[in-house]
Amino acid sequence: MREFSRRRIFGLGAGAAAALSVAGCSTAGSSASGTVGSNSGRGSQGKPIGDGSTAYTGQQPMQPPRPERLRPGQKPPQFVVFSWDGAGEVGNGLFPRFRKLARDHNASMTFFLSGLYLLPESKKRMYRPPNNPVGASAIGYLKDDHIRETLKNVRAAWLEGHEIGTHFNGHFCGESHGSVKHWTPAQWDDEIEQAVSFVTKWRTNTGFTDLEALPFDYGKELVGGRTPCLLGQDNLLPTARKRGWRYDASSPGGLQVWPVKRQGLWDFPLQQMPFPGHSFEVLSMDYNIMANQSKNSTKAPPANYPGWRKQAAGAYIAGFQRAYETNRAPFFIGNHFEQWNGGIYMDAVEEALKHIADEKHKDVRLVSFRQLCDWLDAQDPKVLADLRRLGVGQPFTGRG
C-alpha cells in the first residue's frame, strides 16, 4: 500500500496492429456478483433531485486539496489514469474487485458508465438512438439484478472518490450510417441527454424503491467521456464544449506525450505503448491487446493464456516505465469489466497497478481524468508548454 494519503495525491504541485483504434464493449455475465463496499457513512443523506434517483450530498469525498503549481524546471509527478468503459456490474464481481484494489493502493479511477446499463430491457423503447431503430443497441441491456448491482457499485465508487463519466448508450461502431462515426453534433447532444436521463431517472424507469440514491448531481458531475470504439470525436467536441465538459478520452493512437486541448477540452487519448515481443506498439487498452493476441476471439485456446497475460502486464508496465523514467507524460489505461480469454486482461491490469503503486516509485499519482484536469488547469501555461516539447521517451532535464 502506498505511503501517501489520497488527500496528498497532488502534493508536488508503429506497426499496422498498433493502428487498431477500436474499443470493446462490456456484456452481461452470469456468475454471482461480488460484495459492494460501504457507503462511507453517508446513508440516505442529501437533497433529492428529480424523482430521487440522485441526490445532492455535498462535495465528493476522498478528493485532493487544491493543486499546487510546478516551479519552472521542477519535475512533474507521474500521473496514471485507469479508466473503465461501460462500468456495469454484470455478475462477474469485477466492479467491486477493482474498487477494492483502488482502495488498497489509494487510487482514484474513472468509470465511464453506459446509460443503458440503468435502463431495463422492458423499457428499451425509451431509447431513441440517432440513425438507428428505436430501442436498438449494439450492447446488451442488463438483467434487472445486474442493474441493481451496477447502481450499488456506482454509488459506492463515487463515495470512494472515483469519477463517473459516460460511455454514452448504444455503442454503435463500424462504418454504417448508424455508427457514431457519422453522428452530427446535434445527434451527440441528443445521445448525451438520453444518457443523463437514464442515470437520473433510474428510479422511475426501474421501479426500484429499496436502493439509495446516487449521491451526486450527474448534470454537474459529468465532465467527460469516451466514445464507443474511439469514433466520432470531431463532432462530439463542439457539443461537449457547449455542455461545459472539461475533457474527452476518445482519441485513438495517441503518443506518450503531455496532453493538449482540442476545441477547449483536454484531449486524453489512448496511447501507443511498447508491446513485448513485437517491433510495433499497441494501444493502452485491454481490448486492443486482445485483438493483437487472439484476433478478436474472446475464448482462444487456454494454452495461450499464461504467455498472453504476461505480455499484457508487461505492455502496461513498459508504458509506465517509459514515461516515469523520461518525460513523465500522464499514462492512460483503458479497460472493460470482462473475462476475455479466461480473465487474463483483468489479472494483467491488476498486476500493472500493483507494480505502478509500489512505494519504490516516488511521485506517482493514480488519479481520475477529472482530477488530472484539475492539476493541469492549475499549472502555469509556460511550464506546460515546456513539458509538451518533450517527445516520447525524451528525458526530463528541467530546462526549458
Q: What is the pLDDT of residues 242-299, one digit of tens each?
A: 999 999 999 988 999 999 999 999 999 999 999 999 999 999 999 999 999 999 799 9
pLDDT digits (tens, 9 = 90+) for 111-142: 999 999 999 999 999 999 999 999 999 999 99
% residues pLDDT > 70 (the chain)? 88
Count how many residues are written for the chain.
Answer: 400
DSSP state of 274: E
> What pLDDT does residue 8 have?
33
Question: Comparing C-alpha atoms, which of 30, 93, 153, 145 is closest to residue 346?
Answer: 93
Residue 32 has pLDDT above 60, yes or no: no
pLDDT band, very low/low/confident/very high, at 65 (cuts 50, 70, 90)? confident
The stretch 204-219 carries a mean pLDDT of: 97
Question: Comparing C-alpha atoms, which of 366, 374, 375, 372 is closest to residue 102?
Answer: 366
Residue 195 is placed in which grid cell? 444518457
Q: How far is CA 247 from CA 6, 200, 238, 265, in A?
A: 22, 22, 12, 5
How do the domains of the chain map onto residue ranges?
Answer: 6-28+56-388
Instruction: Estimate the crossing angle of helix 185-200 against helix 233-242, to 10 degrees.
Output: 60
The stretch 152-179 carries a mean pLDDT of: 98
CB 305 within 8 A of CB 316: no
Residue 20 has pLDDT above 70, yes or no: no
> What pLDDT does residue 24 have?
56
The stretch 330-337 carries a mean pLDDT of: 98
> What pLDDT does residue 37 have?
39
> What pLDDT does residue 237 have?
98
> What pLDDT does residue 26 have?
47
pLDDT digits (tens, 9 = 90+) for 297-319: 999 999 999 999 999 999 999 99
Question: Which CATH number does 6-28+56-388 carry?
Answer: 3.20.20.370
Return the ∠ at Cα 356 (arms to 346 and 337), rounded to 5°. 20
> What pLDDT does residue 23 have?
52
Residue 150 has pLDDT above 70, yes or no: yes
